[in-house]
């Protein structure tokens, strides 16, 4: 146990020191902008500043599509892809953002339920992978728009503009549906076998 603690402490001390030298200048600038967003709001932290402004200006119920100034005046960068959650926050406000997050929570809960329903290891692993993919994308995208994660190009599933992301998400949801149907058919076959004998 002591060796484990020492190893963790070494990793926490050595990783930042060596990582600083391995990062490219733009990566270091991104990391610095994430850790200190108020230092230079016009250059390296412009995206997050405009995203937070858009979300904050939405208030409780939003400004509507006509009143969303950050989006309409093109202050918010990449509003249809990386910062789509900020668009929802400004246009529909806290209520709209809560509805979107609730729908994602429903999809994630259903994926978790299908994971527990699966009757074989293969289905369980696929459902677990789909669940992890969806949770990661939702957490990273919403996290970067509200400033708790560094800005990356991770799309928000089923909302961000882009064909490949939507296609992969539809395939993943189709796999979940297939696992669910297979689990129900297996359960029904076992029940019929018990009733007939």
pLDDT in tens, 124-181: 999 999 999 999 999 999 999 998 888 888 999 999 988 899 999 999 999 999 999 9
CA gap 79, 70 in Å, rounded: 9
Predicted TM-score (pTM) of the model is 0.81
Sequence spans of domains, the chain: 1-35, 36-196
Q: Give the separation between CA 114 and CA 131, rounded to whole angstroms.
A: 10
- Helix axes 163-196 and 84-117, enclosed angle (nearest 10): 20
Judge whether 70 and 50 are in contact, CB under 8 Å: yes
């Amino acid at each position: 146990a002591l060796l484990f603690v020492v190893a963790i402490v070494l990793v926490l001390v050595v990783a930042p020191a060596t990582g600083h030298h391995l990062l490219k200048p733009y990566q270091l600038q991104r990391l610095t902008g994430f850790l200190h967003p108020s230092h230079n709001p016009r250059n390296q932290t412009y995206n997050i500043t405009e995203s937070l402004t858009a979300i904050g200006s939405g208030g409780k119920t939003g400004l509507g599509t006509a009143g969303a100034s950050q989006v309409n005046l093109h202050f918010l960068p990449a509003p249809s892809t990386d910062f789509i959650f900020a668009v929802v926050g400004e246009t529909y406000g806290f209520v709209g953002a809560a509805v979107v997050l609730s729908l994602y929570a429903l999809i994630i809960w259903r994926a978790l339920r299908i994971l527990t329903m699966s009757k074989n290891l293969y289905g369980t692993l696929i459902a677990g992978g789909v669940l992890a993919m969806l949770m990661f994308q939702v957490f990273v995208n919403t996290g970067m728009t509200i400033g708790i994660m560094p800005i990356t190009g991770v799309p928000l599933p089923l909302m961000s503009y882009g064909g490949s992301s939507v296609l992969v998400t539809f395939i993943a949801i189709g796999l979940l549906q297939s696992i669910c149907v297979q689990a129900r058919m297996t359960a029904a076959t076992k029940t019929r076998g018990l009733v007939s004998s």
